Structure 1
Amino acid sequence: MRTPTFRRAPRAGPRGRHRTVEGVYRFLLTPRWWGINVFVLLAIPFCVFMGSWQLSRFESRLHEQQAVREQATADRKEAARPLRELLPVDKNTSGRRATATGRYGKQLLVPDRELDGKRGFYVLTMLRTDEGKALPVVRGWLPGDADTAKAPAAPAGDVTVTGALQASENPGAGASGGLAPDQTAAISSASLVNLVPYRVYDAWVTLDKADSGMKAVPATAPQGTGLDLKAFQNLGYTGEWFVFAGFTVFMWFRLLRREVEYARDAELGLVAQAPAEAARNEKAAAASESGAAAS
């Protein structure tokens, strides 16, 4: 019995190997892949730029928070300045110690305010100054439900108050629902002007030392500074943009690998080529052969 023999297939020469590789990657010259490549080349730098910009926004908020802390420490040590020198309130003047002189007028309560983990209310008294305007002064905080009877009466006669200057709150801040006539949801000039018969400063002061029977209300950081929700949104957007950049690269390589595998299978005759693609491949092969023959 004759032993069967196996012949090794001849190896493709350099010219044949070059032609095979050229045929495999010929799809990169199609209009479809030109569009894909241009999109990838534009999308990756754009995603990196947007991610870096969002990261810079987060870092700037970190620096603002540190600056606010340092400013708050310095404000406690520096001497109080007249109110008129610190107006209007901005990020630089918010939290600084201000002083004003006048007579206490109408007293209001600001319910649903938290201090040391407990719910209570601010005692807000309007200080009528010589300029004819009233300065909202938070004289202190009391626990429990808002009740006018629980709030200590304001001192009579001329008084000089000293405390941290604060910007007006948003009118929608604070308690919601029905309020009594002697209550206000927010310490805002837009809200208070409807509750008192005189003009109101677009600012308020929380006393350094609360009046008898109440706790002092600490100053708050200016709006838009520190690690608030927007800061963490910036950090989240940073991650999203960098993920988009990586996903774009991943999808490009995945599409490339799939196209290469398909092109190799088509070269070996394992899959049928589309008529248009087959015609393009024949033309390209003929042009390559003619160029090789001419050389």
Structure 2
Amino acid sequence: MYRFLLTPRWLGILALALVAAALMVFLGNWQLDRYRGRTAINERIDAGATMAPAPLRDAVPAPTGGPGTAGPAPAEQATYTPVTATGRYDTANLILVRNRTVDSQVGFEVLTPLVLADGTAVLVDRGWIPPAPEGATVQPQVPAAPAGEVTVAGRVMASESGAGPVDRRDGKLEARRIGVPRLARELPYPVYGGYLLLDEQTPAADPAFQAVPIGHTNNWQNFGYVVQWWIFAAMTLVGYGWGARKEARRLAGLDKPRPPVDRAAEPAPSASA
């Protein structure tokens, strides 16, 4: 009854169905990996909110190169963990990161190198400030950094990808992305490969700064894609089985076509109806 499945036509349909189902399972597995990766990120963000800060050197490898170089990137497991560092802010090399959105408003994040006792530095994101009243392209008035020794506590953040050009305007560096290796080229000391998103500072930070929130990743969207692709794979195989059964019934004469209905031969409805 199902010998027709061995014909070239149906073997080709089977091969196509298997390839399509395998591809959909692969895409589902890929989304599952992304779901697990994003879930791990969210777990690190949540854990970092309650962990006691560790010394910077315990979480991020110190830079070993010369001036203008960046150290190794922080390990994936070290991102979003809280650390502490003590040094002096280098306000001569302040960095404005433009087009950054907080609470649906576009402004600037302010990065300032914190030079440590050993001569290395770590970039500290001191927070967000709104643009100047004159327009978004005009540099805002940046609150002054504390003079003297400063102790900061913040989250370890990985360097952002897609770093573009870095410009110096009116004595301040400007960038669109926080690409640490690219920013390090403009600085006269070796820089840690990650940066710190400030939580607390001693002396206290200027209240004009608004804290930059750490957003959770949308891992459930990836999980939804997993279910979607696996359902599509199952539907592909079920569709092949349904088509094969229908063909078998047709060849066996079980599914005879219905004769066409001759509407013209049907009696016309009476006027009283």
Question: Same fold by TM-score, threshold 0.5 exceeded?
Answer: yes
Q: CA deviation at 1:206?
A: 2.0
In the alignment, structure 1 residue 215 sits paired with structure 2 residue 191: no
Look at both structures and tell me which one has the larger radius of gyration over its CA atoms: 1
Which structure is higher in RCO with an 8 Å CA cutoff and minimum separation 6? 2
Corresponding letter in the other structure for 1:217: A
Match of 1:138 among 107, 117, 125: 125
Runs of 4+ in 1 over 6 A off after TM superposition: 176-179
1:28, 1:184 → 2: CA distance? Answer: 63
SS in 2 for 1:153: coil
2:236 maps to 247
1:169–1:187 CA contact under 8 A, matched in 2: yes
SS in 1 for 2:145: coil
Q: CA deviation at 1:35?
A: 5.7
2:166–2:183 CA contact under 8 A, matched in 1: no
1:51, 1:108 → 2: CA distance? Answer: 41
In the alignment, structure 1 residue 68 sits paired with structure 2 residue 13: no
1:87 maps to 60
1:198 maps to 189
Corresponding letter in the other structure for 1:120: G
Corresponding letter in the other structure for 1:72: G
SS in 2 for 1:85: helix
2:5, 2:161 → 1: CA distance? Answer: 58
Give a deviation string over 1:20-58, Cα, whole Å, max 9, x none.
xx6xx5545545545655776x55974685476356436
In structure 1, list runs of 5 or more residues that go unmatched. 1-21, 266-295
1:121 maps to 108
1:121, 1:57 → 2: CA distance? Answer: 34
1:132, 1:177 → 2: CA distance? Answer: 23
Report the TM-score, using the length of structure 2 for normalisation. Answer: 0.67
In structure 2, list runs of 5 or more residues that go unmatched. 62-73, 255-273
1:48, 1:165 → 2: CA distance? Answer: 37
Report sequence identity in percent.
29
Give a deviation string over 1:161-180, Cα, whole Å, max 9, x none.
2222211112437xx99874
SS in 1 for 2:175: coil
1:65–1:227 CA contact under 8 A, matched in 2: no
1:4 maps to none
SS in 1 for 2:85: strand
1:124, 1:62 → 2: CA distance? Answer: 26
1:158 maps to 149
Q: CA deviation at 1:71?
A: 0.9
The number of residues matched between the two structures is 232
Report the TM-score, using the length of structure 1 for normalisation. Answer: 0.63
Q: 1:137 to 1:48 in 2, by over 3 A?
A: closer
Q: 1:251 to 1:113 in 2, by over 3 A?
A: same
Q: CA deviation at 1:196?
A: 1.7
1:58–1:232 CA contact under 8 A, matched in 2: no
Q: CA deviation at 1:81?
A: 1.6
**More helix by percentage:** 1
Corresponding letter in the other structure for 2:107: G
Corresponding letter in the other structure for 1:155: P
